[in-house]
């Protein structure tokens, strides 16, 4: 889409991603003089222009970062409010958290999550937007690891995106993987262990798992997490977590705040 804004003629993108980030980018390019129609649908049409000009634009909030903090609050918080969100971008996440037994209150750009009684196992299916995002799959696995009962998580976008499951099992999670579906039987608690992060969202999931684990969890190769989260350790520490970034080993120690 970016390349097509300055290309001669008309470019049509079929099967385009419909995520809010695509719409936000299109809005920014339009402010700069681009001619784009259909952003937010599966068919985007771009008519090339000769040049773009400067523009001022405020980037939308990161829905995956907000969703990750909602799951963190579900794991060990109560009455945690995430501000500067766009709640409609998080509907698939908040709907599943409600189904799992958490109370979600939304006022303007703020989402508050409360531990509202008995937690329940759920079924998760990742889908293209506005369905449940694959980028929240790993974090949800961490949450469901300690929810009593059988939960199932199917990743229809990236069926092999489950490398974090082996690390969660090192911490005591009871998980079986069959094809693109993880069957998660909630255990009473996880135990701290040395684990290895394989990608950005797996890093976040292991940090979340460490929050609810007894003892110390050491996460190696956590540099992945800095690609998608700004100062996640400082923000979680502000909520009561005990996270220490150990520079010489590129690891974090995550201690159960309880």
User: What pLDDT score was predicted for residue 248?
Assistant: 58
**Residue 223 belongs to a domain:** yes
In this structure, the answer to whether residues 34 and 126 fall within a common structural domain is no
User: What pLDDT score was predicted for residue 223?
Assistant: 86
Tokens of 66: 């907000």
User: What pLDDT score was predicted for residue 254?
Assistant: 64
Query: Would you give the DSSP letter of residue 188?
Result: S
Count: domains in the chain: 2
**Residue 229 belongs to a domain:** yes
**Domain around 173:** 120-255
**Residue 234 belongs to a domain:** yes
Q: Give the chain's residues under pLDDT 70.
A: 248-258
CA dihedral defined by 22, 27, 28, 33, rounded to 10 degrees? 130
User: What pLDDT score was predicted for residue 258?
Assistant: 42
User: What pLDDT score was predicted for residue 250?
Assistant: 46
**Residue 97 belongs to a domain:** no
Which residue, among 93, 96, 183, 99, has the nearest Cα to 133 in the 3D structure? 93
Backbone Cα Rg of the chain: 20
In this structure, the answer to whether residues 134 and 42 fall within a common structural domain is no
CATH of the domain at 238: 3.65.10.10
User: What pLDDT score was predicted for residue 257?
Assistant: 52
For residues 67 and 90, is the Cβ–Cβ distance under 8 A?
yes
**Residue 126 belongs to a domain:** yes
For residues 171 and 195, is the Cβ–Cβ distance under 8 A?
yes
In this structure, the answer to whether residues 141 and 250 fall within a common structural domain is yes
């Amino acid at each position: 889409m970016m390349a097509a804004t300055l290309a001669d003629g008309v470019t049509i993108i079929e099967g385009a991603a419909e995520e809010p980030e695509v719409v936000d980018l299109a809005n920014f390019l339009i402010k700069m003089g681009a001619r784009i129609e259909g952003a937010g649908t599966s068919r985007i049409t771009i008519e090339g222009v000769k040049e773009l000009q400067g523009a001022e634009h405020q980037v939308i909030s990161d829905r995956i970062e907000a969703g990750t903090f909602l799951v963190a609050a579900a794991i060990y918080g109560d009455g945690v409010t995430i501000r500067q969100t766009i709640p409609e971008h998080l509907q698939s996440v908040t709907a599943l958290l409600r189904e799992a037994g958490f109370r979600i209150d939304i006022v303007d750009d703020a989402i508050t999550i409360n531990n509202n009684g008995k937690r329940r196992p759920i079924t998760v299916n990742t889908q293209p937007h506005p369905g449940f995002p694959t980028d929240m799959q790993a974090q949800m696995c961490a949450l469901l690891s300690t929810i009593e009962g059988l939960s199932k998580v199917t990743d229809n976008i990236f069926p092999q995106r489950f490398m974090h499951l082996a690390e969660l099992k090192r911490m005591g999670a009871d998980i079986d993987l069959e094809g693109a579906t993880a069957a998660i039987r909630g255990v009473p608690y996880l135990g701290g262990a040395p684990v290895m992060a394989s990608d950005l969202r797996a890093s976040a999931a292991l940090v979340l798992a460490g929050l609810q684990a007894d003892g110390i969890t050491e996460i190696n190769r956590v540099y992945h997490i800095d690609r998608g989260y700004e100062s996640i350790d400082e923000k979680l520490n502000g909520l009561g977590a005990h996270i220490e970034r150990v520079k010489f080993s590129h690891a974090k120690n995550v201690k159960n705040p309880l």
